[in-house]
Structure 1
Amino acid sequence: MSDALNVMGAKNKAWWFIIAHKKIILQELDESIPYGDATELSLPASMLRSKIKIGEYQSHPCYLIVASDASTFKCGSYQNARILLGKIDETLFNMLGRALQVALFYQTHQYCGQCGEKMQRVEWEIACHCSACAHRCYPRISPCIIVAIRKDKEILLALHQRHYQSNEEIYTVLAGFVEAGETLEECLQREVYEEVGIKVKNIRYVRSQPWPFPHSLMMAYIADHDSGEICVDEDEIYSAAWYAIDNLPALPNKGTVARELINQVLAECDSF
């Protein structure tokens, strides 16, 4: 009988992404995503009625609950999702990103952008529908490029204005949003030239990474310096320079595609 109860209990277990004001509840003991039966986590019935299934992880359902306030529940307390970067499995972090983006989508699409009437949530897919004009919306995804640039045995790293102004001196690679009617490669060349005044060649695609801050999809590349001297756009970049692989400044956290690109370029430089 105990084995049967254990099986039944396992079937009821789920991952719970409870979000309020862009923060997520984490279990206090190990700062992890709440996992378990709703009863054992003491989730209020009022919250469970609004749960949204957003996928599965390790054969268990993942539910999003958008809370109206940041009250603390017995299963944990609200934290900034960024603290989980590099601390949890990438697939689970991507599910967290999905939860954050879906929560933002429902928050920002309560009214129809076409006629202004109240939108209704579609039950069988993640979408909002306007019964007045039949306009339907899906979560926004903003494509952007991120690129690490190599010059012989050096890498270009920049201190962005947002990091400098927040006293967070992290040196990272270049990135930017894709504009309408632009290919990814055209975006990469434009952003690099606009931000640091150089031209690149030998553009190589590496991989993509969903980035839920707030709703980006990063397409990661490595490129080689072609021509030009560094001349920064001071609106975007505080400083930028070529760094030798044995003399690097503070770098982005592990778990980010920016750090992965930097590590890959360093490995290429080391074998060059």
Structure 2
Amino acid sequence: MSQEINATYANCVPADPYCFAFCKDEILMKHTGSGLCVPLASDLADLSLQKAATPSLGQLDGRAYYAATVTKDQAPDGFSFFVLRRLYGQIHNEWFWQAFRAYHITNWLKSTQFCGRCGSPLSLDNHELAMKCANCGNMIYPRLSPAIIVAVTRGDKLLLARNRMRPELYSVIAGFVEPGETLEDCVQRELMEEVGVKVTDITYFGSQPWPFPDSLMIGFTAKAVSDSIRIDNNEIIEAAWFSADQLPAIPPSVSIGRRLIDWFANNNQKGKF
């Protein structure tokens, strides 16, 4: 599957393609006089990058772009590694979200090298974004794990919780959808399991790809039936109701969780709660 990147561009568009080069959860970016930008293939021609996706994942500004992996000690002069999610607002918005896509596909390829049906090695399909088993014909597509995330209100208060995995921040409740569930079923189940809260008026808010490693976050708002909270003491270590003018430490603006909290704060200012 992997091969030297300098020998892969016979089928790309003539323009020098972009390279989203990753080391774990960090991305290599180029410093320019106007800020940060995604490197071009020619910028990284002397590095031993390993291709980690199809020759082209799409087009950006008339150029093909692809994903690659690189070791951290390979950053050349004028380039630096950045934690991907912290680049929000520092590079063009389209670049940022395409970097999320490239990161998702890179991780999928790393973990999808052998057929789960017969155990044979896989290779990229020539016609679509999938890994194909030459032995049994099994096709494996990029994994996408749907998860709900919900802002629950009770009057002019918002339910926020601290998760054991990230105890320094409070955020809204989230959880993965299970087989056989609707998204609304998942909202009800996750809230009951994690904080013991029953809700009504479940309303779609928006969605966001979250490739850490392969989620699609689907946002909702809902209204609590009561202000009673019963945390599970497993994933959730603390939960409480907060007013808009007394919010605790919350996630950065890149996440849909923060967008839901901002939605609550903005609507509270307008007297809608």
Is TM > 0.5 for Structure 1 vs Structure 2? yes
Q: Deviations over 1:38-92 (max 9, x none)?
A: 33x142386487763112223332221233x334232623332122134334432
2:112 alignment counterpart: 109
The partner residue of 2:137 within 134, 138, 150 is: 134
- Counterpart of 1:81 in structure 2 is 84
**Of 137, 141, 146, which residue of structure 2 is paired with 1:143?**
146
CA RMSD in angstroms comes to: 2.3
1:70 maps to which of 69, 72, 75: 72
**Residue in structure 2 matched with residue 218 of structure 1 by the alignment:** 217
Contact 1:203 1:221 in 2 (8 A): yes
The aligned residue for residue 162 of structure 2 is 159
Q: Matched residues, percent identical?
A: 34
1:210-255 superposed Cα distances (whole Å, 9 cap, x missing partner) = 0011110000111111136111111111111000111111111012
Task: Measure, in 1, the Cα distance between the counterparts of 2:93 and 2:200.
Answer: 31
- Cα shift at 1:31: 7.2
How far did residue 127 of structure 1 move?
1.1
Q: Distance in 1 between matches of 2:17 and 2:118?
A: 38
Structure 1 residues 89 and 199, CA gap change in structure 2 (3 angstroms) = farther
Q: Which residue of 1 aligns with 2:38?
A: 34
Tell me the secondary structure at the aligned position of residue 171 of structure 1: strand
In 2: Cα distance, 1:261 partner to 1:28 partner: 33
Query: For residue 227 of structure 1, what is the aligned residue in structure 2?
Result: 226
2 CA distance for matches of 1:143 and 1:197?
22
Alpha-carbon distance in structure 1 between the residues aligned to 2:92 and 2:207: 16
Moved more, 44-53 or 196-205: 44-53
What is the 5 A alignment of 1:246-261?
A: 246-261=245-260
Give the drift of 1:148. Answer: 0.6
Residue 241 of structure 1 pairs with residue 240 of structure 2: yes
TM-score by length of 1: 0.86
Inter-partner Cα distance in structure 2 for 1:94 and 1:258: 17
Q: Secondary structure at 1:210's aligned position in 2?
A: strand
- 2:154–2:226: 8 Å Cα contact kept in structure 1? no
Q: C-alpha distance in 2, partners of 1:161/1:85?
A: 25
Other-structure match for 1:24: 27
> Is residue 43–residue 73 contact of structure 1 (8 Å, CA) maintained in 2?
no
Give the structure 1 partner of residue 127 of structure 2.
124
Distance 2:220 2:62 in 1: 33
Aligned residues of 2:85 and 2:254 also touching (Cα < 8 A):
no
Aligned residue identity for 1:94: W
| Residues 171/152 of structure 1: CA separation in 2 closer, same or farther (3 Å cut) | same
Measured at CA, do residues 20 and 124 of structure 1 come closer, stay the same or move farther in structure 2, by a change above 3 Å? farther
Greater Cα shift, 26-35 or 76-85 = 26-35
Residue segments in structure 1 that go unaligned for 5+ positions in a row: 1-9
2:8 aligned partner: none
Deviations 1:131-151 (A, max 9, x none): 111101011000000001111
Deviation string 1:105-156 (CA, Å, 9 cap, x unpaired) is 1111111111001111123322111111110101100000000111111111
Q: Which amino acid aligns with 1:32?
A: L
Which blocks of at least 5 consecutive residues in structure 2 are unaligned?
1-12
- Alignment partner of 1:203 is 2:207: no
3-state DSSP of counterpart to 2:109: helix
- In the alignment, is the contact (CA less than 8 A) between 1:86 and 1:256 conserved in 2? no
Q: Distance in 1 between matches of 2:214 and 2:35?
A: 23
Aligned to 1:4: none
Taking the aligned partners of 2:87 and 2:189, their CA distance within structure 1 comes to: 32
How many angstroms apart in 2 are the aligned matches of 1:33 and 1:115? 42
Aligned length: 256
Give the partner amino acid of 2:220: Y
For residues 196 and 89 of structure 1, what CA distance do their matches in structure 2 show?
Answer: 38
Correspondence list, 1:171-182, <5 A: 171-182=170-181
**Is the CA contact (8 Å cut-off) linking 1:146 and 1:173 kept in structure 2?**
yes
